Amino acid sequence: MSDLDYVGSDGLGLVAAIRARQVSARAVTEAALARAASRGVAVNAFTAVLADRARTDAERVDGALAAGREPGPLAGLPFAAKNLFDVAGVTTLAGSRINVGRPPARRDAAAVAALRRSGAILIGALNMDEYAYGFTNENAHHGAVRNPHDPARVAGGSSGGSGAAVGAGLVPLALGSDTNGSVRVPAALCGVFGFKPTYGRVSRIGCAPLAGSLDHVGALGRSVRDVTAAFDAMHGPDPEDPVCARRPAEPCRPVLGQGIDGLRIAVLDGHFARGGEPDVFSAVAIASSALGVSRRATIPEAHRARAAAMVITACEGSSNHLHDLKTRPQDFDPLTRDRFLAGALVPGVFYQQAQRFRAWYRAQVARLFGEVDVLLAPTTPC
């Protein structure tokens, strides 16, 4: 498979070609590995490339097709995972030097396992901000991830390796996590599609935590249908994850072709219409015009919601890493260490107040979604 053919198709386009026997899963995998080798270094997206495992999985897909067996809905689709997802036999670094000497994972994270069961091919593990605590992916241990469109600029974080890997054409799909924007920010800065599902819809088992009450598993892809297909493969109940919703899986790909007729769409103003670059607001205006949207909506106290999220993240994150902060502070990325230390010093009453505000704010958002179905807003201010 040529590099041009590989980069020119989204993930499901590659799956369709594999299922039609126009190209083998092994050939697509080799194209992904070649792309990772030739372009991956330039953006510093990968922390590990799992070539032998990827080839074995690809041959399994090709063997199933040759035998007339169902290889899975994502047969042969190459993907990579942020290096806070467990991969059996690989040490989960979570972007930190602290984890280098720890034992390898015994099994795949739930999200990784779900994609592999669906026939997707894991290519490798991706760079990230240490412990997912950052927005720029300038990692002191593994180096900065560079934006695939301009290497002098950041790729965003904390799932910067995921955004760069998709944006640079290394893989059509990547797993990320999102606590305060860590899927959405790199997707925006790298020019790809990012999806943060509803809290509790995708199991976080095998995913290193930042702040448990805010952490989400998400996906970044070349197309909307790619991230939708990934969500369909991953979501649903998981009794191992105590916050995973018991609500049954509901396939979303079948509704993608229904269009926007009947949807109540509004553009967010207030906090979301201030402090950004003109080009950002111009993009929102172009999108709203194309969709025929003139309605505007406001979420009250949105700036306080951001502050509450920062307090909750700092407190929960520092709690998760308190032992290492006490015994190995020198091994942290200095910026991450200082953020966690600040969180450890936040009075408990501040955390309680932030959670109380969060409950009130959630009610305001729920009330707004009784009136609208979709809210348009910038992802980042620049």
Q: How far is CA 295 from the centre of its chain?
A: 30
Q: Note the pLDDT of residue 199.
A: 97
Cα end-to-end distance, the chain, whole Å: 37
What pLDDT does 1 receive? Answer: 83
**Domains defined along the chain, listed by start:** 3-258 (3.90.1300.10), 262-382 (no CATH)
Contact 253, 225 (CB under 8 A): yes
pLDDT at 28: 98
- Taking the C-alpha atoms of residue 209 and residue 321, their distance in angstroms, rounded to an integer, is 10
Q: Is 222 in a helix, a strand, or coil?
A: coil
Cβ atoms < 10 Å from Cβ of 323: 8
Q: Is 158 a catalytic residue?
A: yes
Of 28, 26, 24, 27, whose CA–CA distance to 9 is shortest?
A: 28
Of 9, 82, 177, 318, the active-site residue reads 82
pTM for the whole thing?
0.97
The confidence score (pLDDT) of residue 3 equals 81
What pLDDT is stored for residue 4 in this prediction? Answer: 74
Can you give the pLDDT of all 382 residues of the chain as single tens digits? 888 788 999 999 999 999 999 999 999 999 999 999 999 999 999 999 999 999 999 999 999 999 999 999 999 999 999 999 999 999 999 999 999 999 999 999 999 999 999 999 999 999 999 999 999 999 999 999 999 999 999 999 999 999 999 999 999 999 999 999 999 999 999 999 999 999 999 999 999 999 999 999 999 999 999 999 999 999 999 999 999 989 999 999 999 989 899 999 999 999 999 989 999 999 999 999 999 999 999 999 999 999 999 999 999 999 999 999 999 999 999 999 999 999 999 999 999 999 999 999 999 999 999 999 999 999 999 8
Q: Among the options 96, 118, 159, 182, which is catalytic?
A: 182
Residue 120 has which token pair?
Answer: 């997707």
Q: Tell me, yes or no, if 318 is annotated catalytic.
A: no
Which tokens is 102 given? 């720890």
182 is a catalytic site residue:
yes
Report the greatest alpha carbon distance in the chain: 62
Measured distance CA(126)–CA(343) in Å, rounded:
26
Catalytic residue from among 96, 158, 159, 162: 158
Give CA 199 to chain center in angstroms.
13
Residue 105 is encoded by which pair of tokens?
A: 């994972």
